[in-house]
């Protein structure tokens, strides 16, 4: 299934994407939200599958797609340097943060959940905050079953599905805080996620997915998941080693080569730029950078 959070009639609803991704079946409220469904186990997913047959269907253009998930257990979990071509392209360009040798284990970090926006929402852009806004097309795993110290051969039992993401980063902030990446990865309203969650059974081979990122119509990233340094199963196993993963956790799995910071000359994002992120079978994100005063004080 392809499950989405959709807004229609001034309310957010659970939807199933149908008709070759052109329409959405509006599932009954009794099934709860997509956040709840992800956390409710296989029986809830079976109920959702059965409900599609009798659900009203509307064109996808008639609804607004929001972030698939809105309630997060913790920060977004992330993987760095997970495509060797990306690792190599950035050599000598990390401003003193190059490791001595290729990592033998995945590199993990986190980013704040307030970064998450929907598949067509504007990316907040504040030029006073950073001069180096970069794009990073990625695949995200959505955890669907709690587990600790999960062996690689059982990793997929704990994955609910896949999303497309773009880990928009501020490179100067990323380098400025003692080598830690959290700050340069956690700016509010900057990480598109979606357009829906594609359950694992919809993907025949997770290592034949093509990841692409276009900026203003120019293709800047184009790679296959078969190029990953550490496979999805390895990421789940190593991250969960001694650490419980919870249903509803989101794990970004790394970006391939082509990032703006590593190019000559460098390419950074600016006001009005259109960033299109796509992964075969998983969908497309279309997000434009819009000036937002992130440096002004805000309270909730």
pLDDT digits (tens, 9 = 90+) for 44-96: 999 999 999 999 999 999 999 999 999 999 999 999 999 989 878 866 655 55
- At 103, the pLDDT band (50, 70, 90 cuts) reads confident
- Asked if residue 179 has pLDDT above 90, the reply is no
| Cα–Cα distance for residue pair 196/239, rounded to 1 Å | 24
Residue with tokens 């190599």: 88
| For residue 219, pLDDT beyond 70 | yes
pLDDT exceeds 80 at position 299: no
Helix or strand holding residue 179 (H, E): none
- The CA distance from 31 to 298, in Å, is 35
Q: Give residue-wise pLDDT tens across range 223-250.
A: 999 999 999 999 999 999 999 999 999 9
Buried b (16+ CB within 10 A) or exposed e, 127-152: eebbebbbbbbbbbbbbbbbbeebee
pLDDT of residue 10: 82
Please answer whether residues 6 and 63 qualify as being in contact, where contact means their C-beta atoms are separated by less than 8 angstroms: yes
Residues of the chain with CATH 3.90.850.10: 76-291
pLDDT band at 102; cut points 50, 70, 90 = confident
End-to-end CA distance of the chain: 36
- pLDDT of residue 193 exceeding 80, the answer is yes
Q: In CATH, which superfamily holds the domain spanning 76-291?
A: Fumarylacetoacetase-like, C-terminal domain (3.90.850.10)
């Amino acid at each position: 299934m392809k499950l989405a959070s959709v807004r229609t009639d001034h309310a957010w609803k659970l939807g199933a994407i149908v008709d070759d991704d052109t329409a959405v079946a509006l599932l009954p409220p009794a099934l709860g939200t997509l956040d709840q469904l992800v956390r409710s186990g296989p029986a809830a997913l079976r109920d959702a599958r059965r409900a599609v047959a009798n659900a009203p269907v509307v064109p996808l253009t008639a609804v607004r797609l929001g972030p698939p998930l809105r309630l997060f257990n913790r920060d977004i979990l992330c993987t760095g340097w997970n495509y060797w071509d990306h690792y190599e392209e950035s050599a000598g360009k990390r401003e003193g943060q190059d490791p001595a040798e290729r990592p033998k284990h995945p590199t993990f970090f986190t980013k704040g959940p307030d970064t998450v926006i929907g598949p067509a929402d504007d990316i907040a852009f504040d030029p006073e905050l950073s001069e180096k806004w970069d794009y990073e097309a990625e695949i995200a795993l959505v955890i669907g079953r709690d587990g600790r110290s999960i062996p690689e051969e059982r990793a997929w039992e704990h994955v609910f599905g896949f999303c497309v993401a773009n880990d928009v980063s501020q490179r100067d902030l990323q380098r400025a805080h003692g080598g830690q990446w959290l700050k340069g990865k956690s700016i509010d309203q900057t990480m598109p996620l979606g357009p829906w969650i594609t359950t694992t059974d919809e993907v025949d081979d997770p290592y034949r997915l093509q990841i692409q990122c276009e900026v203003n119509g120019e293709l800047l990233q184009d790679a296959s998941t078969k190029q990953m340094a550490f496979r999805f199963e390895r990421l789940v196993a190593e991250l969960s080693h001694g650490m419980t993963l919870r249903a509803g956790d989101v794990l970004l799995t790394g970006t391939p080569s082509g990032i703006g910071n590593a190019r000559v000359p460098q390419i950074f994002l600016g006001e009005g730029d259109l960033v299109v992120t796509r992964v075969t079978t998983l969908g497309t994100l279309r997000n434009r950078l819009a000036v937002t005063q992130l440096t002004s004080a805000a309270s909730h």
